[in-house]
Structure 1
Amino acid sequence: MKIVLLDGYELNQDLDWSALEPLGNVTLYDRTTVDNHSEILEKISDAEIVITHKTPLNADILNQTTHLKYIGIMGTGYDIVDIDTAHQNNIIVTNIPTYASDAVAQFTFSLLLEVTGQVGLHNQLVHKGKWSDGPDFTFWEKPLFELKDKTLGLIGYGHIAQRVAEIAHAFSMTVIFYNHRPKQVDNDWAKQVSFDELLKHSDVISLHVIQTPETINLINQKTISKMKNSVIVLNTARGKLINESDMANALNHNQVYALATDVVQTEPIDHNNPLLKANNCYITPHIAWAPLETRKRLLDITIENLRSYLENKPVNVI
């Protein structure tokens, strides 16, 4: 049985895939050109098992594979695989739903604390001599904010959002959330509201929904117009949830106070992405999932998903 890992660089550099080897004949690639269908097909043409992180497997590719029986997605989101076509071709697809919940929740608050506390900026200024050259015992270059009593609005209320809510509650924030269907809440401090209510009342909005046709460009000129001008928007979900031109325009015209995002529509980021020149915009290179412990968990569950499939007991099936 041939197993092909299309893009394992982010794990290959410091983790060990040896546990995969007893399961079949394994070929590991660091990278695969995501928009080169010929390259993808060449690598997987005789594979029964394909593991992918960010290499897309669309309908055209899936319809040209004759051996493929199983696709393991190394992540929570599954928009990189045409699920309907996979099902039509009797290909089982699995993902890893909760491996990074704690890491992404932690990073969501790292972004928020950077915006509100400006630790990075002031650390740099101190090292450049601005404090030692100044006349006062203190200085601050940008406004600083308390989180206590601010309202955090969560769009989506899955595992990650619920962890973010718990952290927000510890900071004495008011927590509201919108979910596309009613969600059972096991506490008395998180309140489910309508989408428009969330946009209107939130001081901080954090995105935690998957990418679907309905959620692409969810944050756009129209929805931004319903937010407070002082709002901070956080995105650790998917870049395509935000219309980047509309957001850049809103940042530059003081309709949004700040955007802090770990994801963008095209990754790696395009040199011409309007967010790069937008005011008060914080961008990190899709690293919320990347702590060593988190990636080790990802690797272990990827292998366990495959092992369960081979034992005819598939888990985490989409």
Structure 2
Amino acid sequence: MIGADGRERPMVIVRVPATSANVGVGFDCLGLALDLTATFLMTPSERLEVVGCEERFRGEDNLVWQSYLDACGRLGTDTVPLHITILSPIPLSGGLGSSSACVIAGVGAAMALSGGGFSRERALELAVAMEGHPDNVAPALLGGLVSSFVDGDLTTSTRMDVAGNLRFVAIAPPYEVRTADARRVLPEEVSRETAVWQMGRCVAMVRALELGDAGLLSSACHDRLHEPYRAKLIPDYETLRSAALEAGACAFFISGSGSTMIAVADGDAAAARVASAFADACPGYWLQTLPANTLGTTVEVH
């Protein structure tokens, strides 16, 4: 790209998939990458410019820009103003990792422009330091289904493939669920019985997603740690859950802390029935049927 001063300037293109944290019973541990990709174009400029997003996100507090500045500080590299173009189909109502995508975009630009190149391992370290947890950024970077845990400053993420027969029907209401509210409604302690219930189903959920086993998914996807409490913050939860299961979905869960919800269907025909049931139950809501994303984040420099 040629700047206004006639000098050639590199363009960094970062593509980041949408993600769904928790995946029902995998509270704060599991995350899933979905085949819905946000694209960020970033080029050194005379001054900061942000286009392609709502006016309220075009200033100095833009999350891509702030993440770029933070990453440069952690990498020990100089910052330059950027022209940032955001092309994102990920809804802002919450639950599909729109903010994590912006964080990763800023990290990707900082690494690409530093001369050291992009490393997913280093990017994960930087993104977790910014976000405070890996549940969205890990699957966004790695693709597939990712299980993560944090020990001090070390994040360990294990990536698994998701069976190709599974489809994820995502529906996003036009209202947000604030993450702070979603955290506030959770109990401080749980019983041993609940812990055992959850651990067994979390392991089964991972295996079911790997195998594409609809029956096992149906048996495993019954959370007791967070969804019974967070469902009360989503007025459409019971309506959409009933519609999905009656239409043949094998599982239904809140995506992240909401307000997006996801039904899992075995194959395209079942997914079409679920999507139709969603559209009838809540017409006009954002609705997409998606496979899992296998690629994760990509960074190119032109």
Coarse TM-score class (shorter-chain normalised) = under 0.3
Bigger strand share: 2
Please tell me whether Structure 1 or Structure 2 has the larger radius of gyration of its CA atoms.
Answer: 1
> How does the TM-score come out when normalised to structure 2?
0.28
> How does the TM-score come out when normalised to structure 1?
0.27
The structure with higher relative contact order (CA 8 Å, sep 6+) is 2
